[in-house]
Chains A and B, each alone.
Chain A
Amino acid sequence: MELARHWRQRNARYRLEGSRNASTGVVAFPAEHGVDWQPYCLSGHGSVLTYAVVHAASAGYENDSPYIVAIIVLAEGPRITAQLTDVSSGEVTIGMQVEMVTRLMADTGPDGLLLYAYKFRPVL
């Protein structure tokens, strides 16, 4: 992961910043761009639409296996793909209420980056 590639998504990954359309009120994540769209931080609350438990991971995520990935319906409407954390796979249910937390996604090595981003956990 290159520095610039991660850095340019920092607002989305660190504080779930999307955008809101000033004329329609529609909220978008990731952000839409255009005259009516303004930056907008989502609440981080949502519910699990579906999920899977990854045993055969991609390179860079092998040490996390097994881990849970999900599609979450955010309270403001958009859907997002993210990992679930602080929960075991047997406890996850479709419809479960979750909230955003910031977690380490990957350590890319001694000369690389520590990549932080959103994950979701059951609402405390």
Chain B
Amino acid sequence: MRPVYIAGIGQTSIAEHWDKTAQDLAYDAAQQALHGYTGPIGAIYVANALSAALGNQSNLAPAVAASLGLRGVETLTIEAGGMAIRQAQLAVAAGVVDAVLVVGVEKVTDVLDERREAALALSMDADWEAFHGVTVTAQWAMVMRSYMHTYALGAAAFAPFPVNAHANGVNNKQALYRFPISADKYQSAAAVAAPIGLLDCATEADGAAAVLISATPPAAGAVIRIAGSAVASDSVALHSRPDLLTLNAVTLSFERAMAQAGIERSDVDVFDVTDPHAIAAILALEAMGYAATGTGYLLGSTGAIRPDGGVPLALGGGCKARGNLLGALGVLQIVELSQQLQGTAPTQVADARIALAQCMTGIGSTVATHILVRDA
């Protein structure tokens, strides 16, 4: 297997893009990622979760290819950004193609909330969970309640995560929400799925991100290599897991990616995880071994997740402030973390050289972990 590099990145703002189709957004992000690139593109992978359910459009990848003037190229549409990055990394590493353009796109604001909740619920077990009126937020809320009960915690323990996300998002011109929130406001917010309140609940929005993955680093600028890439799975139904508080696919994909990269846990300088709610980030940090079981929330209250802390998280604003791009999230994570390694991020971690992206679908039923390393 040969080394694989990030050769270009691009993104749109995360917003309510009333005037744009999914194809428009994908085009805008892709054009940025391809800026200045003159080599061949062996394949285009498009990551999208909800276009078929909410946009009356499946088959997105050939549409994106055609809009870029690349009709004829190999195309593939994938449900989640992290998994698309993984497939692109494999294809390039294996020498099958020299470059893959990965475009993540989501267009979810054309419909009302109830329909969007129903579409999000497609990631659950249809017969044994979604049929009973469970929403994805309700699932995380059940996990959060179990965590609070097991470790005797109040809601205040979770507040530092969305507070940090919003503080970081203020600097991000592409973010959906660019205002800070306080722990007091967090605690007084209306319930969405109790115990999860409005200020612990990421907003889904429209946007696109693109990454050019290549066997050759870009001619100029930082050399960023995908040093680790792994995907693992868990049961779709939450109730089928022996322990509700263990995100096993996070652990498995993390361990595989770290072994490939040949680095230690403490080597990672900057993180982005799928964090629609504080509990998701807390359990992910525990599953990766950055906190002992039942203590992940302390990484919030001690400030470790802040830009100057030991496990800086959600630098672009996380799902909460930047907005949740769902199926495109895993691609956007690579864009934001590449900026961290280039030293050009809106909220920059000083001297960041190694970054970790963790992308999950559902409530951790499929998880991709990627390690990016700046070589030069």
- A9–B146 Cα distance when bound, in Å, is 29
CB distance from A75 to the nearest CB of B (A): 15
Contacting residues of chain B (193-222) with chain A, CB-CB under 8 angstroms: 193-196
Within 8 A of B (CB), among A58-98: 58-62, 64, 66-67, 69-71, 79-83, 89, 94
B115 near A81 with CB under 8 A, answer: no
A54 at the interface (CB under 8 A from B): yes
Contact check: which of A62, A67, A70, A71 meets B114 at CB < 8 Å? A62
Question: B91 CB to closest chain A CB, in angstroms?
Answer: 36
Interface size class on chain B is: 35 or more
Partner of A52 from the list B130, B131, B190, B194 (CB cut-off 8 Å) is: B194
Query: B244 near A57 (CB under 8 angstroms)?
Result: no
B192: contacting residue among A30, A55, A59, A64, CB under 8 A: A55
The answer to whether A69 and B134 have CB atoms under 8 Å apart is yes
B66 touches A (CB below 8 Å): no
- By the criterion CB–CB under 8 Å, are A56 and B145 in contact? no
Q: Which of B114-167 contact A (CB under 8 A)?
A: 114-115, 117-118, 121, 127-135, 137-139, 141-143, 145-146, 149
A30–B129 CA distance with the chains assembled, in angstroms: 12
Q: Does any Cβ of B come within 8 Å of A40's Cβ?
A: no
Interface pair A89/B194, CB less than 8 Å apart: yes
Contacts A50-B146, A53-B193 hold; do A58 and B132 have CB atoms under 8 A apart?
A: no
Tally A residues with Cβ within 8 Å of B: 33
In Å, the complex CA distance between A82 and B118 comes to 17
Report B43 CB to chain A, min CB distance, Å.
35
Q: Give the CA-CA distance A50 to B192 in the complex, in Å.
A: 17
Say whether, besides A30-B128, A50-B142, A81-B132, A58 and B193 are in contact (CB < 8 Å): no
Choose among A9, A71, A83, A94 the residue that contacts B238 (Cβ–Cβ < 8 A): A71
Q: Are B135 and A57 in contact (CB under 8 A)?
A: yes
Taking CB atoms, residues of chain A closer than 8 Å to B133 are 54, 57-58, 60-61, 64, 67, 69, 83, 105
In the complex, are the beta carbons of B118 and A52 less than 8 A apart?
Answer: no
Closest Cβ of chain B: how far from A21's Cβ, in Å?
17
Query: Does B191 make an interface contact (CB < 8 A)?
Result: yes
Q: How far is the CB of A69 from chain B (nearest CB, A)?
A: 5
Decide if A49 is an interface residue (CB 8 Å cutoff): yes
Complex Cα distance, B126 from A1, in Å, reads 11
Contact, CB under 8 Å: A56 / B134: no
Residue B237 interfacial (CB < 8 Å): yes
Which residues of chain A from 15 to 32 have any CB-CB distance to chain B below 8 Å in the complex?
A: 30
Residue B308 interfacial (CB < 8 Å): no
Q: Report whether A105 and B113 are in contact in the complex, using a CB–CB cutoff of 8 Å.
A: no
Q: Give, as a whole number of angstroms, the nearest-CB distance from A103 to chain B.
A: 11
Given A55-B193, A79-B240: A70 touches B127 (CB 8 Å cut-off): no
Cα–Cα distance between A66 and B190 once the two chains are bound (Å): 13
Q: Which residues of B contact A49 (CB under 8 A)?
A: 146, 244
Q: Is B185 interfacial (CB-CB < 8 Å)?
A: no
Across the interface, name the chain B residue whose C-beta is closest to A72.
B239
* Cβ–Cβ < 8 Å partners of A79 in chain B: 239-240
Given contacts A60-B118, A71-B244, are A54 and B149 in contact (CB under 8 A)? no
Give min CB distance, A28 to chain B, whole Å: 11
Interface residues of B (CB under 8 A from A): 113-115, 117-118, 121, 127-135, 137-139, 141-143, 145-146, 149, 190-196, 237-240, 244
Chain A residues near B (Cβ < 8 Å):
1, 5, 9, 30, 49-62, 64, 66-67, 69-71, 79-83, 89, 94, 105, 117
Closest 3 CB pairs of A and B: A52-B141, A53-B194, A79-B239
Given contacts A54-B133, A56-B113, A64-B133, 5 further A-B contacts (CB under 8 A): A30-B127, A52-B145, A59-B118, A81-B238, A94-B145
